[in-house]
Amino acid sequence: MAHDDPALQALMLPFEQGLLPWPEAGGVLFLRARDGAPLHRRAWPGLVCEQGFKPEADALRQAGLVVVDSPDAGSAGSRHPLVLVLPPRQRDEARALYAHAVSRVAPGGRVVACLANNEGAKSGEADLRRLVGPLGGLLKHKSRCYWSAPLHVADSAAVIDHALLAEWEALDAPRAIVGGRFRSRPGVFAWDRIDPASALLVEQLPADLAGRAADLGAGFGYLSAELLERCPGIAALDLFEADRRALDLARHNLAAFESKVAIGYHWHDVTTGLPAQYDVIVTNPPFHTQGSANRPDIGRRFIAVAADALKPGGRLWLVANRHLPYESVLVESFGQARAVAERDGFKIIEAVKARPVQAPRPPRRGREDWR
C-alpha cells in the first residue's frame, strides 16, 4: 500500500464524516488517483481511478482497484455523479483537469478536489471557484479539500463559466514548441523548452554510438531524436517513459524516423528493470516523482537498471545535477565511470559495462603429451 498521503486523506474525509454523500449508482471517476490507506478503510462502490503515471497506476492495480490510463479510456463521453481530483502542480495542466472534471459530471453531481497546502492549495481552490462558483470545503491534514455545489441543474448555486470552461479545456492540447520541431503539452517535464541538462548531454554524445539503444525517462522524445540524428549507427531504439502523456507526444515527435529505424514506445516504470539488452543507453533520470520532494534514489536505480540491461562493452551516457550522489552506484554497477563535462550545475558521465574476464587458457600440450 502507498505511503502516507495527506491530500488523499483530506480528499476522502468529507465522505467518511458524512459531509458529502457517496453515490449509490452511476460510478465515481477519480482523476489522477493515488493509492493509499483511505481507499481501503471502507468500500467505495463504483470507483474508477484514472492515472497516467505508471508507478502510481501499478500501485492502484496491485491494490485491486479499477484503473484507466487516461480520463476517457473505456468511458468516452460518460458522466458521473461524482468526480474526484488530485490536481497536479503545473497550473495550466491543473486548470485543464478541472475543466475536464466539470465536463464529466452528471446533472446534480459534484467535483471534489484536494491539494496539500504547500502544493498550491489556495490557488487551486480559487481556480475551481472561478469555474463553478461558490465552494464548500475543509482544512485537514495540512491540506485543503474543496467541492462544488451540484452541477448542471437549474436550481443549483453553481454557475458554470462556460467560456472559461472551453478556454481551460484547451490548455492541455498538444502544441508546437522549439520552432515547430516538437509537440508538447503542459505538465510534461520541461514541456515548453529544451531542458538545459538534456541539451548539454546532446552536445557530448559521440557520433560512434551504435547498435540497439534505449532512452530511459524519454519525456517527449528530445534525447531520442537527437541520438538518431547524430548517431547513424543506431539500428533500433526503445523509449521507456512512465508518463503516458509524454510517451504519446514522443510517438508523434519521432514518427519521421520510423521508416529508417525500429522504434519501440514503452509505458514503463524503469525502476522495475528493463526487458531487453542494449548496446547504448542514454538518460536524464528524474529525481522526483509527481511531487516536489527530491528523490535521488530514483536516479540511482536508473543507473543500476542500465548496468543490468547493457551488453558487455555497452555504454551509458548520463546527465544529472552536479550535486546528486550518483558516483557510488556508478562504481558499484560499472566498476568505473568518467566525467565527460560539467557546466551550469550539470555533469555528463559515461560508464562502460565491463566485459567478463576470461579464464586463462591452459598451456598447449606438445606432441609428447599425447602419448
Reported as a single tens digit per residue, the pLDDT across 67-91 is 998 776 545 568 999 999 999 999 9
Tell how strand 135-140 and strand 262-267 pair up.
unpaired
Weakest mean pLDDT among 22-36, 104-118, 292-306: 292-306
**Domain ranges across the chain:** 6-171, 175-352
pTM here is 0.91
Q: Which pLDDT band, with edges at 50, 70 and 90, does 157 fall under?
A: confident
Name the average pLDDT for the chain.
92
Per-residue pLDDT tens over the stretch 333-353: 998 899 999 999 999 999 999
What average pLDDT does the segment 4-9 reach? 93
* Highest CATH level, class, for 6-171: alpha beta
pLDDT of residue 162: 94
Per-residue pLDDT tens over the stretch 17-62: 999 999 999 899 999 999 999 999 999 999 999 999 999 999 999 9
pLDDT of residue 292: 54
Would you state the CATH architecture of domain 175-352?
3-Layer(aba) Sandwich (3.40)
Query: Taking the CA of residue 6 as centre, how many other CA atoms within 13 Å lie in the half-sphere pointing to its CB?
Result: 13
Indicate if the pLDDT at residue 309 is higher than 90: yes
Indicate if the pLDDT at residue 368 is higher than 50: no
Indicate if the pLDDT at residue 287 is higher than 90: no
Per-residue pLDDT tens over the stretch 234-282: 999 999 999 999 999 999 999 999 999 999 999 999 999 999 999 999 9
Alpha-carbon dihedral angle through residues 11, 17, 18, 23, given to the nearest 10 degrees: 40
Query: Are 6-171 and 175-352 equal in CATH topology?
Result: yes
Burial 231-265 (b: 16+ CB within 10 A, else e): beebeebbbbbbbbbbbbbbbebbeebeeebebeb
pLDDT of residue 1: 41
